[in-house]
Amino acid sequence: MAFDIFLVTEYNRSRTQSDKLSAFFVDKTHVMGQMFREECLYMPNNASAQKRQRQEQKRRLRNRMVKSVVKTNVTKARQAIASGVESEAAVRAAVSELDRAAKKGVIHRNNAARRKSRLMKQLNALETKTK
């Protein structure tokens, strides 16, 4: 994993001298095939804090990816319900992704349950309309 840390002085011109040393950018960090650049507002004081910061960045990126997949599947399910085409399969995929995100701890299990319930309610309303 490539990990470059450097101080940015142009970014910190408006800050005080003590704040200039506390802000830096983490660049070229590759996690699961993706590259991102993120500002960190504190400088880790020891090796364990640096490691914790690296772990947080990896987890944040993973969580963002899982949330993105969940949002995409829920949106596809809602669009399928609205159009009435392949709605059951789309809802099944969205429910599966919600369960997976809850299992990983990315979203709370009650949040997943609420969203699944709303999707199923919309699907059931569609089925009663078509009957």
Sorted by sequence, the CB contacts under 8 Å of residue 21 that are 6+ apart come out as 7, 43
Q: Structural domain boundaries of the chain?
A: 1-43, 58-131
How many whole angstroms separate alpha carbon 20 and alpha carbon 26?
15
Residue 67 scores a pLDDT above 90? yes
First to last CA, the chain: 56
pLDDT(1) > 60: no
pLDDT for residue 65 is more than 80: yes
Mean pLDDT of the chain: 80
> What number is the average pLDDT over the span 6-29?
44
Q: What is the pLDDT, as a whole number, of residue 37?
A: 57
Q: What's the whole-number mean pLDDT along residues 39-54?
A: 86
Confidence check: pLDDT of 30 > 70: no
> Domain 58-131, what fold?
Methane Monooxygenase Hydroxylase; Chain G, domain 1 (1.20.58)
How far is it between the farthest Cα atoms of the chain?
Answer: 70
